[in-house]
Structure 1
Amino acid sequence: MYFKGKKVLVAGGTGMIGIPLVEMLVEQGAQVRIASLDDPARSHPEAEFHHINLMPFENCLKMCQGMEFVFNLLGVKGSPAVTTTKPASFFVPTITLDTNLMEAARQAGAEGFLFTSSVGVYAPAEVFYEEDVWRTFPSPNDRFAGWAKRMGELQAEAYRVQYGWDRIAIVRPANVYGAYDNFDLENAMVVPSLIKRAMDGENPLTVWGDGSPQRDFIHARDVARGMILAAEKANCEPINLASGVGTSIQQLVHTIIDNLDHKPEVIWDTSKPSGDQKRIMDISRARAIGFEPQISLQDGIRQTMEWYGKHKSVVTSRYDVFA
């Protein structure tokens, strides 16, 4: 196992993807350090936790000292409505965190680095292929977050060219969901928003659009597995981490409702925007390094709903950049 005995920093190790990633690294025998602004109770008991803001460069450098590998899971996640009204809250922290952490890891002499990019780097298309990104522009629906993440990818390429640092992995997760997601209705993404509203008894359940747009949903544990594979093979070539399958919003809603004892009426509000029609990723590159999603949407949604039902009291323990 590549990470056995290695000193590893997971920036954002108490988030939806970070929690299962840290768990898997600890199982491999890694010595894990977590840097996060979340409640310390979310951290793995066998990891070294630091409650620290990584916006200042000196904090990044402090956290990277002595680390052999750095995972950057930092980012700002929010609904399309928040993206539209608070674009600076996406763009500025994303650019700052990504730039500072990668430079700090380089200065500290880290052997390798994983940069978490986003599905938001892609232009609208039937299927997203990794090599198409720099031939196009991000979707208008992801303009600020998409460009910010593209800059992180470009930084990784610049370091490969100038410093010969070729152990940098770049992953582009699709629409990720799972336990410890953001269930705040003010800025939640589609899966946690629908789960919360449905489980909290909203009836009728109003959903924006007509339900026809398709998204590529992937469970956080599958993404964490894919990140470890990408880190082991790190070579600066971006890799999509996704299911490779399109699921309509209508299918998603019915999957959630199927797990409820009391089924609400669903109202489709076609006066509201529904985003790009299709966002599906090609996962040929991921499969070439041994990645295959293991958690079906049906099982993943059921597990996430069960988790939310038992942990409503801790969903607010995450750091909220919009607060």
Structure 2
Amino acid sequence: MKKNTRIYIAGHRGMVGSAVWRELESKGYTNLIGKASNELDLKNQADVLSFLQKEKPEAIIDAAARVGGILANNDYPYQFLMENMQIQNNLIDCALKSGINKFIFLGSSCIYPKFATQPLMEEYLLTGSLEPTNEWYAIAKITGVKACQAIRKQFKKDYVSLMPTNLYGIHDNFDLKTSHVLPAMLRKFHEAKNNNSDVILWGSGTPMREFLFVDDMAEAVVYALENELPEYLYNVGSGKDITIKELATTIQKVTRHKGNIIWDSEKPDGTPRKLMDVSKLKEIGWEYSTELQEGVEKTYAWFLENIDNIKEVKL
């Protein structure tokens, strides 16, 4: 991969896409392409094909998706299924039609069966039923994975899928209604510190979760970009998990909150454990580098610098 290779990053303004952009720039790549959603509607196949044939990128990183938490997935199942399929299928199919040989598709660990054995291995794909609260998003992402696999098999092109664990970091979503557990918790502790109040958290705190700093994810994407990976699907994560209580303690320390943590055991815990097996990617040369506390410190520093510009997300 040459430093002047034309690389199109779909979703370059999102948390993952912007991290990939920063990582590529830091490594000296000079020919990056990005289009905002008001400039290019990825749901419009004709527009996507015209754009790719005009810009002629040599590689595509697909970090574009409609995302949201349990509430959004439950209330808008059709949009989460159809819009994500439209976005990714247009990019994948038009990339193939445009003769693009390198494509990196980004998904989510939710593609794996709800009751799969821990840690989650790539081989578990399509071996059981999905988690009902996000099956619409998961089904869309599975079609993207299989489309890239089919292109590898039939056309011998270097199309690969990376499935990250729970990501967090710079440009995260901190809206308390729609954000994931880590950014939501970080904001709660920050506001409680300012109000000299306790923090109330859902459940018992015993479930275990794995987290990966988004800049590490970006490094994994660039690794896949610069190397021809031998298989079609790879998990990306730290390969280790912590309890939600440990996460809360870490965030409390970083934010310097002095109050109590109160666990509302009347609220649900969710899945007891969700851990990725990341041995395949590690065996071929990539592994994470940012430990949780360091990642939370960097995320909190960015949050404080940008707090006036962080907007509430409307469902």
TM-score by length of structure 2 reads: 0.91
**1:44-55 residue pairs with structure 2 within 5 A?**
51-55=39-43
**Once the 2 structures are TM-superposed, how far is the Cα of residue 91 of structure 1 from its aligned partner?**
1.7
Q: Deviations over 1:125-162 (max 9, x none)?
A: 32100111122232234312111111111111222233
Instruction: Supply the RMSD in Å over aligned alpha carbons.
Output: 1.9
Match of 1:140 in 2: 132
Match of 1:59 in 2: 47
For residue 206 of structure 1, the aligned residue among 195, 200, 209 is: 200
Q: Does 1:172 align with 2:163?
A: yes
**Once the 2 structures are TM-superposed, how far is the Cα of residue 316 of structure 1 from its aligned partner?**
2.9
Give distance in 2, aligned partners of 1:61 and 1:30. 23
**Once the 2 structures are TM-superposed, how far is the Cα of residue 3 of structure 1 from its aligned partner?**
4.2
Contact kept in structure 1, 2:190 and 2:257, CA below 8 Å: no
Q: Deviations over 1:153-194 (max 9, x none)?
A: 1111222233x1430010000000001001112211111111
Question: Are residues 172 and 3 of structure 1, via their aligned partners in 2, closer, same or farther at CA, if it must alter by over 3 Å?
Answer: farther
Match of 1:249 in 2: 244
Question: Are residues 18 and 197 of structure 1, via their aligned partners in 2, closer, same or farther at CA, if it must alter by over 3 Å?
Answer: same
**1:235-274 residue pairs with structure 2 within 5 A?**
235-274=230-269
Give distance in 1, aligned partners of 2:308 and 2:212. 25
Match of 2:221 in 1: 227
Contact kept in structure 2, 1:64 and 1:70, CA below 8 Å: no
Give distance in 1, aligned partners of 2:265 and 2:204. 5
Q: Which runs of 5+ in 2 are unaligned?
A: none
Question: Are residues 168 and 233 of structure 1, via their aligned partners in 2, closer, same or farther at CA, if it must alter by over 3 Å?
Answer: same
**Once the 2 structures are TM-superposed, how far is the Cα of residue 264 of structure 1 from its aligned partner?**
2.9
**Once the 2 structures are TM-superposed, how far is the Cα of residue 30 of structure 1 from its aligned partner?**
4.2
Which region of structure 1 is more displaced relative to structure 2, 85-94 or 177-186?
A: 85-94
Match of 2:22 in 1: 23
**1:1-323 residue pairs with structure 2 within 5 A?**
2-26=1-25, 27-37=27-37, 51-65=39-53, 66-123=56-113, 124=115, 125-162=117-154, 164-201=155-192, 203-231=197-225, 232-316=227-311, 323=315
Match of 1:47 in 2: none
Letter of the 1:82 counterpart:
A
Question: Are residues 83 and 159 of structure 1, via their aligned partners in 2, closer, same or farther at CA, if it must alter by over 3 Å?
Answer: same
3-state SS, counterpart of residue 126 of structure 2: helix
Letter of the 2:190 counterpart:
M
**Once the 2 structures are TM-superposed, how far is the Cα of residue 314 of structure 1 from its aligned partner?**
2.8
Question: Are residues 165 and 28 of structure 1, via their aligned partners in 2, closer, same or farther at CA, if it must alter by over 3 Å?
Answer: farther
Contact kept in structure 2, 1:166 and 1:234, CA below 8 Å: no
Give distance in 2, aligned partners of 1:165 and 1:82. 37
3-state SS, counterpart of residue 172 of structure 1: strand
Letter of the 1:183 counterpart:
F
Q: How many percent identity over aligned positions? A: 25
Letter of the 1:36 counterpart:
A
Number of aligned positions between the proteins = 306
